[in-house]
Amino acid sequence: MAKKLDLERILKNQGFGARKLCRIMIINEEITVNGEMCDDPSAEFELENLKFTVKGEPWEYREKSYLMMHKPSNYECSHKTQHHPTIYSLLSHPLVERGVQCIGRLDEDTTGLILISDDGQFIHKMSSPKHKVPKIYEVTCKHPVSDDQIAHILQGVQLVDEDAPIAALHCTRVSDNVIHMTLAEGKYHQVKRMVAAISNRVEALKRIQIGELQLPQDLAVGKWRWLTAEDMLKLGVK
Ligand code: URA
Protein backbone atom coordinates (compact mmCIF):
# COMPACT_ATOMS: atom_id res chain seq x y z
CA MET A 1 0.00 0.00 0.00
CA ALA A 2 1.24 3.52 -0.81
CA LYS A 3 2.74 5.29 2.20
CA LYS A 4 0.58 8.10 3.67
CA LEU A 5 1.40 10.77 6.23
CA ASP A 6 -0.42 13.75 7.74
CA LEU A 7 0.41 17.18 6.38
CA GLU A 8 1.89 18.47 9.64
CA ARG A 9 4.42 15.61 9.72
CA ILE A 10 5.13 15.89 6.00
CA LEU A 11 6.16 19.53 6.40
CA LYS A 12 8.24 18.78 9.49
CA ASN A 13 10.05 15.87 7.75
CA GLN A 14 10.80 18.05 4.77
CA GLY A 15 12.54 20.65 6.92
CA PHE A 16 9.88 23.34 7.42
CA GLY A 17 10.41 23.57 11.18
CA ALA A 18 8.89 22.15 14.35
CA ARG A 19 5.43 20.56 14.17
CA LYS A 20 3.87 23.50 15.96
CA LEU A 21 5.23 25.92 13.37
CA CYS A 22 4.08 23.67 10.50
CA ARG A 23 0.62 23.46 12.07
CA ILE A 24 0.38 27.26 12.21
CA MET A 25 1.36 27.61 8.53
CA ILE A 26 -1.27 25.04 7.57
CA ILE A 27 -4.03 26.69 9.61
CA ASN A 28 -2.99 30.08 8.16
CA GLU A 29 -3.74 28.70 4.66
CA GLU A 30 -0.11 29.01 3.55
CA ILE A 31 0.12 25.47 2.15
CA THR A 32 -1.26 23.91 -1.02
CA VAL A 33 -1.03 20.19 -1.77
CA ASN A 34 -1.21 18.89 -5.34
CA GLY A 35 -2.66 22.23 -6.42
CA GLU A 36 -5.25 22.80 -3.66
CA MET A 37 -5.06 24.76 -0.44
CA CYS A 38 -5.23 22.54 2.65
CA ASP A 39 -5.86 24.04 6.12
CA ASP A 40 -6.19 20.72 7.97
CA PRO A 41 -2.92 19.67 9.73
CA SER A 42 -4.12 16.08 10.11
CA ALA A 43 -5.16 15.57 6.46
CA GLU A 44 -3.27 12.56 5.09
CA PHE A 45 -1.56 12.39 1.71
CA GLU A 46 0.27 9.74 -0.29
CA LEU A 47 3.95 10.62 -0.34
CA GLU A 48 4.76 9.39 -3.81
CA ASN A 49 4.81 12.24 -6.36
CA LEU A 50 3.44 14.64 -3.73
CA LYS A 51 3.75 18.25 -4.81
CA PHE A 52 3.11 21.09 -2.39
CA THR A 53 3.77 24.80 -1.99
CA VAL A 54 4.82 26.64 1.14
CA LYS A 55 4.05 30.37 1.06
CA GLY A 56 3.87 30.10 -2.74
CA GLU A 57 7.19 28.26 -3.15
CA PRO A 58 6.86 24.90 -4.95
CA TRP A 59 8.31 21.69 -3.43
CA GLU A 60 8.19 17.97 -4.10
CA TYR A 61 8.18 15.40 -1.32
CA ARG A 62 11.61 13.74 -1.15
CA GLU A 63 12.46 10.95 1.24
CA LYS A 64 16.14 11.99 1.06
CA SER A 65 17.91 14.96 -0.51
CA TYR A 66 20.60 14.56 -3.16
CA LEU A 67 21.99 17.70 -4.74
CA MET A 68 24.96 19.22 -6.48
CA MET A 69 26.34 22.73 -6.10
CA HIS A 70 28.74 24.84 -8.11
CA LYS A 71 30.81 26.04 -5.17
CA PRO A 72 32.04 29.61 -5.40
CA SER A 73 35.39 30.83 -4.14
CA ASN A 74 35.51 32.41 -0.67
CA TYR A 75 32.94 30.04 0.81
CA GLU A 76 33.72 27.37 3.41
CA CYS A 77 32.37 23.83 3.39
CA SER A 78 31.52 23.60 7.08
CA HIS A 79 28.44 24.53 9.08
CA LYS A 80 30.46 26.61 11.54
CA THR A 81 32.81 28.73 9.48
CA GLN A 82 35.74 30.83 10.62
CA HIS A 83 36.54 33.40 7.95
CA HIS A 84 34.01 33.13 5.13
CA PRO A 85 30.30 32.41 4.70
CA THR A 86 29.25 28.77 4.61
CA ILE A 87 28.15 27.08 1.37
CA TYR A 88 25.01 26.02 3.30
CA SER A 89 23.88 29.66 3.23
CA LEU A 90 23.41 29.19 -0.55
CA LEU A 91 20.80 26.43 -0.02
CA SER A 92 17.08 26.76 0.71
CA HIS A 93 16.58 26.83 4.45
CA PRO A 94 14.47 23.61 4.68
CA LEU A 95 17.40 21.63 3.24
CA VAL A 96 19.74 22.92 5.93
CA GLU A 97 17.05 22.15 8.52
CA ARG A 98 17.00 18.56 7.20
CA GLY A 99 20.67 18.28 8.08
CA VAL A 100 22.29 17.99 4.66
CA GLN A 101 26.08 17.58 4.57
CA CYS A 102 28.55 18.14 1.79
CA ILE A 103 30.43 15.05 0.66
CA GLY A 104 34.12 15.76 1.07
CA ARG A 105 35.28 19.33 1.47
CA LEU A 106 36.74 21.77 -1.00
CA ASP A 107 39.11 24.48 0.21
CA GLU A 108 37.64 27.96 0.60
CA ASP A 109 39.40 29.14 -2.58
CA THR A 110 38.47 26.02 -4.62
CA THR A 111 35.46 26.22 -6.93
CA GLY A 112 33.39 23.60 -8.73
CA LEU A 113 31.34 20.49 -8.23
CA ILE A 114 30.32 19.45 -4.74
CA LEU A 115 27.68 16.90 -3.74
CA ILE A 116 25.35 17.45 -0.80
CA SER A 117 22.95 14.99 0.86
CA ASP A 118 21.20 13.90 4.04
CA ASP A 119 21.46 10.19 3.15
CA GLY A 120 24.15 8.70 5.40
CA GLN A 121 24.65 5.61 3.22
CA PHE A 122 25.10 7.69 0.08
CA ILE A 123 27.52 10.06 1.87
CA HIS A 124 29.51 7.06 3.09
CA LYS A 125 29.59 5.42 -0.32
CA MET A 126 30.75 8.56 -2.10
CA SER A 127 33.36 9.54 0.48
CA SER A 128 34.72 6.17 1.62
CA PRO A 129 38.34 5.55 0.51
CA LYS A 130 37.25 1.96 -0.22
CA HIS A 131 35.04 3.06 -3.11
CA LYS A 132 37.71 5.28 -4.65
CA VAL A 133 35.33 7.49 -6.63
CA PRO A 134 37.66 9.39 -9.05
CA LYS A 135 37.53 13.17 -9.07
CA ILE A 136 38.83 15.43 -11.81
CA TYR A 137 40.32 18.83 -11.03
CA GLU A 138 41.17 21.64 -13.41
CA VAL A 139 44.40 23.06 -12.03
CA THR A 140 45.80 26.41 -13.10
CA CYS A 141 49.47 26.50 -12.18
CA LYS A 142 51.73 29.50 -11.61
CA HIS A 143 54.40 28.18 -14.01
CA PRO A 144 54.00 26.30 -17.32
CA VAL A 145 53.72 22.57 -16.62
CA SER A 146 56.49 20.51 -18.21
CA ASP A 147 56.29 16.93 -19.51
CA ASP A 148 58.63 15.92 -16.68
CA GLN A 149 56.29 17.41 -14.10
CA ILE A 150 53.32 15.53 -15.58
CA ALA A 151 55.33 12.30 -15.64
CA HIS A 152 56.27 12.87 -11.99
CA ILE A 153 52.61 13.33 -10.97
CA LEU A 154 51.72 10.11 -12.80
CA GLN A 155 54.59 8.17 -11.22
CA GLY A 156 53.73 9.41 -7.73
CA VAL A 157 55.01 12.18 -5.48
CA GLN A 158 56.02 11.84 -1.86
CA LEU A 159 53.96 14.12 0.38
CA VAL A 160 54.95 15.02 3.93
CA ASP A 161 53.07 12.82 6.46
CA GLU A 162 52.22 10.14 3.85
CA ASP A 163 53.80 6.70 4.02
CA ALA A 164 54.01 6.06 0.29
CA PRO A 165 54.12 8.24 -2.85
CA ILE A 166 50.72 9.24 -4.28
CA ALA A 167 50.07 9.25 -8.02
CA ALA A 168 47.29 10.83 -10.06
CA LEU A 169 45.20 8.34 -12.06
CA HIS A 170 45.42 10.66 -15.08
CA CYS A 171 47.06 13.98 -15.78
CA THR A 172 46.77 15.86 -19.05
CA ARG A 173 47.86 19.33 -20.13
CA VAL A 174 45.04 21.58 -21.37
CA SER A 175 47.21 24.64 -21.99
CA ASP A 176 50.71 25.74 -20.89
CA ASN A 177 49.69 26.39 -17.30
CA VAL A 178 46.51 24.33 -16.99
CA ILE A 179 46.27 20.59 -16.32
CA HIS A 180 43.42 18.16 -15.63
CA MET A 181 44.29 15.84 -12.78
CA THR A 182 42.25 12.76 -11.77
CA LEU A 183 42.62 11.61 -8.16
CA ALA A 184 41.27 8.52 -6.45
CA GLU A 185 41.81 9.83 -2.92
CA GLY A 186 40.70 13.00 -1.17
CA LYS A 187 43.54 13.82 1.17
CA TYR A 188 43.91 17.20 2.82
CA HIS A 189 44.98 19.85 0.24
CA GLN A 190 45.96 16.95 -2.00
CA VAL A 191 46.11 18.76 -5.34
CA LYS A 192 47.96 21.76 -3.91
CA ARG A 193 50.46 19.52 -2.12
CA MET A 194 51.06 17.35 -5.19
CA VAL A 195 51.61 20.39 -7.39
CA ALA A 196 53.96 21.90 -4.81
CA ALA A 197 55.88 18.59 -4.78
CA ILE A 198 56.68 19.04 -8.50
CA SER A 199 58.02 22.55 -7.81
CA ASN A 200 55.01 24.37 -9.21
CA ARG A 201 52.13 26.15 -7.48
CA VAL A 202 48.32 26.12 -7.75
CA GLU A 203 46.90 29.50 -8.73
CA ALA A 204 43.29 28.34 -9.23
CA LEU A 205 41.56 25.03 -8.56
CA LYS A 206 38.19 23.85 -9.82
CA ARG A 207 36.63 20.39 -9.45
CA ILE A 208 35.00 19.56 -12.77
CA GLN A 209 33.92 15.92 -12.37
CA ILE A 210 33.06 13.27 -9.74
CA GLY A 211 32.81 9.70 -11.03
CA GLU A 212 31.24 10.16 -14.47
CA LEU A 213 29.27 13.21 -13.36
CA GLN A 214 30.51 16.48 -14.84
CA LEU A 215 29.86 19.95 -13.47
CA PRO A 216 27.04 21.08 -15.80
CA GLN A 217 27.94 24.05 -18.01
CA ASP A 218 24.61 25.69 -17.16
CA LEU A 219 24.95 25.46 -13.37
CA ALA A 220 26.04 28.99 -12.47
CA VAL A 221 28.56 29.63 -9.70
CA GLY A 222 26.81 29.58 -6.32
CA LYS A 223 23.76 27.67 -7.63
CA TRP A 224 22.57 24.18 -6.74
CA ARG A 225 20.17 21.66 -8.26
CA TRP A 226 18.69 18.26 -7.41
CA LEU A 227 20.54 15.22 -8.74
CA THR A 228 18.57 13.36 -11.41
CA ALA A 229 18.33 9.58 -11.83
CA GLU A 230 20.82 9.95 -14.69
CA ASP A 231 23.26 11.84 -12.45
CA MET A 232 22.99 9.07 -9.84
CA LEU A 233 23.88 6.44 -12.46
CA LYS A 234 26.94 8.52 -13.39
CA LEU A 235 27.94 8.37 -9.73
CA GLY A 236 27.57 4.59 -9.75
CA VAL A 237 24.41 4.61 -7.59
CA LYS A 238 21.29 2.74 -8.73
N1 URA B 1 42.86 19.38 -3.36
C2 URA B 1 43.16 20.58 -2.81
O3 URA B 1 44.34 20.91 -2.63
N4 URA B 1 42.13 21.40 -2.49
C5 URA B 1 40.83 21.10 -2.70
O6 URA B 1 39.96 21.90 -2.40
C7 URA B 1 40.53 19.85 -3.28
C8 URA B 1 41.56 19.01 -3.60
Q: Is 107 a catalytic residue?
A: yes
**Residue 67 in contact with residue 115, Cβ under 8 Å?**
yes
Strands (E), 16-75: 31-33, 36-37, 44-46, 51-54, 57-60, 66-71
Q: Which domain holds residue 185?
A: 134-210
Q: Please tell me the predicted confidence (pLDDT) of residue 82.
A: 83
In degrees and rounded to multiples of 5, residue 181 shows phi and psi of -120, 130
- 154 and 176 inside one domain: yes
Q: Please tell me the predicted confidence (pLDDT) of residue 238.
A: 73
- 40 and 70 inside one domain: no
- 118 and 83 inside one domain: yes
- 165 and 51 inside one domain: no
- 89 and 78 inside one domain: yes
pLDDT in tens, the chain (238 residues): 778 999 999 999 999 999 999 999 999 999 999 999 999 999 999 999 999 999 999 999 999 999 999 999 999 999 888 889 999 999 999 999 999 999 999 999 999 999 999 999 999 999 988 888 999 999 999 999 999 999 999 999 999 889 999 999 999 999 999 999 999 998 999 999 999 999 999 999 999 999 999 999 999 999 999 999 999 999 998 7
Q: Please tell me the predicted confidence (pLDDT) of residue 199.
A: 96
Query: Taking CB atoms and a 6 Å cutoff, what residues make up the pocket around ligand 1?
Result: 106-107, 110, 189-192, 205
- 125 and 155 inside one domain: no
**Residue 116 in contact with residue 98, Cβ under 8 Å?**
no
Give Cα separations from 83 to 96, 173, 207, 236 (angstroms): 20, 33, 22, 35
Which atom of ligand 1 is the closest one to the Cα of 189?
3
* CA-closest residue to ligand 1 atom 4: 189
Q: Where are the alpha helices (DSSP H) in the chain?
A: 7-13, 19-27, 93-97, 120-127, 147-155, 190-197, 229-234
User: Nearest-CA neighbor of 103 among 133, 62, 64?
Assistant: 133
- 119 and 218 inside one domain: yes
Catalytic residue among 6, 40, 107, 119: 107
Residue 191 Cα, ligand 1 centroid: separation in angstroms? 5
- 23 and 51 inside one domain: yes
pTM: 0.93
Please report, for the domain that includes residue 33, its CATH number: 3.10.290.10
- 97 and 162 inside one domain: no
Strands (E), 75-161: 101-102, 111-117, 135-141
- Cβ-in-10-Å burial (0-12, 13-18, 19+) of 20 comes to exposed
Please report, for the domain that includes residue 166, its CATH number: 3.30.70.1560
